[in-house]
């Protein structure tokens, strides 16, 4: 068995041994290896001395946010690449020397590829901060660089291109599939980044209505990802006419199974165009859902209740049902605080006392109407009043503002010695109390 294995692989092993022996006995090999070591040590010494100075020079003050400060922070991100790229440059100089002296530079060329691999590895490890790009660099960029170092990138690409995957009437090579995945991933990541930048820019336009800002952000998102899709198709050489069957099937699917999603999407666009409900509004729907709109997506609006829960409400519900909008981005709202006083009170004094006390609260508005104390009725235990007041915003479950108004009413009544009644009943016993027997 050993003899058969040796007969098959022995000549190849002996060939490797022969090449290794020639290298070890060759002055060119040792000179190139020495140059590689010297180039790396020189790059290491230079970077250790230069890195602190470069970092100090490129680090702007923490409070600086101008374009120059942003540029300096961006350039500073490339500092981890200084060591391998400097070693690569010094090795390139040494390669010219060895080729002129010995006419050979295979070892030093291999060292250059190793330094380039170290630069790619540092780029993927230290510079890529986005989780998606970090995964792409770790599992795509670094393996490709490793294949380049050992000189196998050409054969591997040829093998992947010759491996065809049949899919019905269609067929494609593994290489094309991998290229499509990588290109599509990078393009759509760039689209997401561009969309985030455009949304941040739109949100800074405070002279625009919130609904207009939301509509502009959605329009920018659709445009950016539409362009990204078209670019991917163009880069990969895929004609859009080949997608006709797919889009036809998709249209049928929308007509039947996805009609609710399509309805909610159109309803969301209508909401943004009309601006009747937008982010920041406190709304109440017929179904009982109530809360502040914290986010509007293509399918639904996210309501946050006063107790911190999130309610997902389909956009269609805002169109086909009755919606009460309490805030409309900071408009005033009216509330009332009920209270009672004793029947022994001169009720003609109550309105002036209460209206003055409530008007002194800093959150109570004088427009569109000042606090108004109204007589509501004559109750079983006391005389019922209510003070109406206007505020900006929403009363947190009738506890945010009404509670403070009731405190002010209590203190004002106590300051004027006005009694707040408690439940009282008059009991009449016909015939009087029975007499005790002696």
Task: Specify whether 268 is located in the same domain as 401.
Answer: no
Q: Answer whether residue 437 is part of any domain.
A: no
pLDDT of amino acid 398 = 59
Residue-range definition of the domain harbouring residue 111: 2-151
CA distance 202 to 361: 37
pLDDT of amino acid 313 = 83
Task: Specify whether 279 is located in the same domain as 375.
Answer: no
Q: Answer whether residue 72 is part of any domain.
A: yes
Angle between helices 142-149 and 153-162 (to 10 degrees): 120
Task: Specify whether 193 is located in the same domain as 233.
Answer: yes
pLDDT of amino acid 286 = 79
Q: Answer whether residue 166 is part of any domain.
A: no
Task: Specify whether 385 is located in the same domain as 358.
Answer: yes
pLDDT of amino acid 256 = 58
pLDDT of amino acid 161 = 72
Task: Specify whether 140 is located in the same domain as 6.
Answer: yes
How many distinct structural domains can be found in the chain?
4
* Torsion, Cα of 246, 250, 253, 258 (10° steps): 150
Task: Specify whether 39 is located in the same domain as 129.
Answer: yes
Last residue of a domain, one of 220, 255, 290: 255
Of 59, 132, 120, nearest to 84 (Cα)? 120
Mean pLDDT by 10 residues, the chain (438 residues): 55 56 60 76 84 80 75 78 81 68 67 81 79 78 80 76 67 72 74 74 69 69 74 67 57 61 75 73 78 78 80 82 70 83 86 88 85 87 88 70 88 87 74 63
Q: In the Cβ-directed half-sphere of 311, how many Cα atoms lie within 13 Å?
A: 19
Q: In the Cβ-directed half-sphere of 162, how many Cα atoms lie within 13 Å?
A: 6
pLDDT of amino acid 319 = 79
Task: Specify whether 10 is located in the same domain as 147.
Answer: yes
pLDDT of amino acid 349 = 87
Q: Answer whether residue 427 is part of any domain.
A: no
Q: Answer whether residue 394 is part of any domain.
A: yes
Q: Answer whether residue 164 is part of any domain.
A: no
Say which CATH number the domain at 280 has: 2.30.30.60
pLDDT of amino acid 99 = 64
Task: Specify whether 23 is located in the same domain as 135.
Answer: yes
Task: Specify whether 7 is located in the same domain as 61.
Answer: yes
Of 401, 375, 376, nearest to 389 (Cα)? 401
Task: Specify whether 269 is located in the same domain as 348.
Answer: no
Q: Answer whether residue 92 is part of any domain.
A: yes
Last residue of a domain, one of 325, 347, 364: 325
The residues facing 301 across adjacent strands are: 296, 313
Radius of gyration of the chain (CA): 39
Say which CATH number the domain at 344 has: 3.30.70.100
Task: Specify whether 77 is located in the same domain as 116.
Answer: yes
Q: Answer whether residue 435 is part of any domain.
A: no
Last residue of a domain, one of 255, 281, 300: 255
Task: Specify whether 6 is located in the same domain as 136.
Answer: yes
């Amino acid at each position: 068995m050993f003899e058969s294995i040796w007969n098959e692989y022995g000549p190849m092993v002996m060939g490797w041994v022969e090449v290794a022996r020639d290298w070890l006995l060759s002055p060119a090999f040792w000179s190139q290896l020495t140059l590689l070591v010297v180039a790396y040590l020189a790059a290491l010494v230079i970077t250790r001395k230069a890195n602190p100075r470069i970092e100090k020079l490129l680090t702007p003050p923490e409070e600086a946010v101008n374009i120059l400060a942003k540029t300096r922070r961006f350039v500073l991100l490339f500092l981890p690449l200084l060591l391998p790229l400097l070693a690569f440059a010094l090795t390139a100089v040494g390669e010219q020397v060895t080729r002129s002296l010995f006419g050979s530079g295979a070892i030093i060329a291999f060292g250059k590829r190793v330094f380039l691999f170290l630069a790619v590895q540092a780029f993927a490890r230290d510079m890529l901060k986005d989780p998606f790009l970090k995964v792409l660099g770790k599992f795509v960029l670094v393996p490709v660089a490793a294949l380049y170092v050992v000189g196998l990138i050409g054969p591997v690409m040829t093998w992947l291109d010759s491996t065809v995957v049949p899919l019905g009437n269609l067929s494609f090579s593994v290489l094309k599939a991998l290229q499509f995945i990588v290109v599509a991933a990078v393009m759509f990541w760039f689209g997401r980044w561009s969309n985030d930048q455009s949304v941040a820019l739109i949100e800074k336009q405070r002279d625009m209505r919130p609904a207009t800002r939301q509509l502009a952000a959605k329009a920018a998102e659709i445009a950016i990802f539409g362009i990204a899709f078209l670019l991917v198709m163009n880069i990969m050489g895929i004609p859009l006419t080949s997608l006709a069957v797919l889009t036809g099937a998709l249209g049928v699917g929308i007509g039947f199974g996805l009609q609710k999603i399509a309805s909610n999407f159109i309803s969301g666009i209508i909401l943004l165009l009309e601006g009747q409900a937008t982010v920041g509004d406190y709304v109440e729907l017929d179904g009982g859902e109530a809360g502040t709109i914290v986010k509007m997506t293509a399918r639904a609006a996210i309501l946050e209740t006063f107790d911190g829960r999130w309610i997902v409400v389909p956009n269609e519900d805002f169109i086909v049902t009755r919606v009460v909008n309490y805030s409309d981005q900071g408009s005033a709202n009216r509330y009332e605080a009920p209270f009672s006083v004793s029947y022994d009170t001169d009720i003609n004094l109550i309105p002036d006392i209460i209206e003055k006390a409530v008007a002194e609260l800093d959150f109570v508005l004088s427009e569109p109407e000042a606090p108004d104390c109204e007589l509501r009725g004559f109750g079983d235990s006391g005389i019922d009043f209510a003070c109406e007041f206007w505020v900006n915003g929403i009363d947190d479950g009738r506890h945010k503002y009404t509670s403070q108004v009731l405190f002010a009413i209590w203190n004002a009544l106590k300051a004027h010695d006005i009694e707040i009644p408690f439940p009282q009943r008059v009991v009449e016993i016909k015939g009087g109390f029975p007499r005790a027997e002696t």
